[in-house]
Structure 1
Amino acid sequence: MVFSRPTLTELRKQVAADIAAGLPGVNALLRYNNLTIIGDVEAALVDGCFGYLDWITKQSVPFTAEDEYLEGWAALKGVTRKPAIAATGKVTFNGTAGTIPASTVLTRSDGLSFTVDVDTDLINGIAVAGITAASAGASPNTVLGTTLSLASAISGINSLCTVTEAITGGLDVERDDDLRTRMIAEYARPASGGSSTDYENWALSIPGVTRAWCVPKLYGAGTVGVLFMMDDVRSEHGGFPQGTNGVATAETRGVVATGDQLALANALYELQPVTALVYLVACTENRIDLTIDGLSTATDTTKTAIAAAFASALLSTAVPSGSSPLSAIEAKIASVSGAAGFVITEVTASAGTVSPGPTGNISSNPGTLPVAGSITYI
């Protein structure tokens, strides 16, 4: 039976009744009587105790635990909170001559700082330097064209520089809800020595990885393929990892990966069974374009909402080499205010098929994920 916690008002009434019962024949609860004040204080204290007990109850089970208590429950299953990641990018300096030393500090207009990665020489009046945010997190992510300034002047170098490769990849510390989702999955499906679920959970435990799929025997017997996406840190690339497919650095039986694939391959190498030959493979794009009749006069706001609904429908059903039902797209678009009366007259796929007919369900080629392309209104 669920315990029904009394409200503060109910506690005050209960304490008042107890005081009155303990002093029969006396009006002990006059408006400015000390006993009335003491009774209200006692009720408030008891209410605080009930609140503390409620909080303890939440921390005592993994489904509702918070902060360090959630991390403690997760640690019992080997799941740890993903740390924050520092953003990186490139800036272009101008000047007459000189060198921008490594660790040179740059500042953004809001006070956030970045440091130059390596010594960079000015050549023909221009220098392109890689930089890293001084603090991890999503706040330092910066768009192209933003101006940064040198914290300390350097002879021969202009004090202002321009972001010429967007500063991206910054991620905040994993939120409680995301950590809880991974933890509960581990409780529900504990590690079993290298099952498909194990590889997916291992990949999802790596900072930056948001979706992962395991493909047994991808390149024949004894091989395991892990396909993955990095929707946040690679948002400027549609969430698709950047690098080349392959195996971990320490693996001698295959071509070593590069970029994001290598980082994940090396992380999985410490977790995977020793006999498995694991290939990290970036998903590729299956661009889906739509032609819609009946909404040519719709407002820009409605069309923007339709585009978001289209992308959401594909994301909710996206599985490499999988199928995306047209009905899911139609249902999402139909929920948009102002979209009544539309008809999808054509669906095209850049790396897949549409069947039956030009407005059928979408099938993606091996290793590809459906992503929203353009919408043509007629």
Structure 2
Amino acid sequence: MAQFTLSLLTAALALASAVQAQCGSGSPQATVTGSGNSFTATKGGSNVYSGSDYRAAIQAALDSISSGQRVAVMASGSIGANTITISSGKIFEGCGTINVGNKAGRGAIESTNTNDVQIPYLTMTGNPYFGLRFSGTKNLSLGKITMNLSGGLAIRFDRDLAANSNVNMDVINVTGAGSHAVETWNIDGLTINSVIAKDVGECGLLLQNTRNAHVKLVDGNNVAAGTGYATFRMANNNGQNANGDYKTNVYIDKVVSRGGGRGVFCVSQSGGVEIGNVDLANNGNNAILIENCYNVNIKSGKVNGGGEVRISARTEFPNTKDININLQVDGTTVRESPCADNSNWTLTGNGQRNIC
């Protein structure tokens, strides 16, 4: 009987969890409602904004809550070339569609020098400079983020500002960005379930000076066409540990890339990475390029057509070193030039090989 009661309790908790998992569900402390040119922000039954300015309504709702409290933006509208700012501890749910403009050097939504900010849901359209912009964050959580853009860079962690720690992302789905879908700088501790990028001008996921990372999936369709960028790119000392070594600390479960530019690209003294599986086809540039990187392990996968698989190096950095690649390569070539230090290939398929 006790076991049956426990099962009922477990089922009830699961149902409650599923209900809570819907955007705006339960009892958010503040809400934004309305449409057209009439919006209302409400906190605890009292209006904190009423008027025609969608951005002002959202900001008023955010400013009205305390750390640990939640805002649900139920209304859709446009904020123009402006910025919404989220401070520490606040939970922001964008349940409507937030259309944004381009404010030079700024994010349409920003959180900087903050702790414990959560964005469980967001739907964004428009052409931002940055859709989401972060720096100096700790325990940042991004949930189901959908950005159907007509230009701009979707999610950006700044290069020259404070570093970030313990960043978590669930499903990031970006179409139409002119630049990158997700670009990171200066993160220690990053987990991502998936980055899904389609018709994106530069990278799907670009990791820079980021360590202790685990990404389950990077999936790119027509990403980085006509450029040197890639569906998945690591650059600028990505994966280099604090002590300077490249012991494995970046784990990518799977990279899928169709068309576009490069599939996988590691460059500029990056490494310390294990990629579990790749599925690359018809990339318009190198399917894989590893250039001046150290301790790169591609454990399995297939390359079908497109640009060559290559190990390379430039003279301004130490030579490429400690590379292990296990691949089926068909319909394109495999080339190593110049020779890496300690390269290990396990190759099948009909691809022509020129390796050391």
Q: Structure 1 length as normaliser, TM-score? A: 0.23
Could you say which structure has the higher helix fraction? 1
Q: Structure 2 length as normaliser, TM-score? A: 0.24
Bigger relative contact order, structure 1 or 2, given CA contacts below 8 A and separation 6+? 1
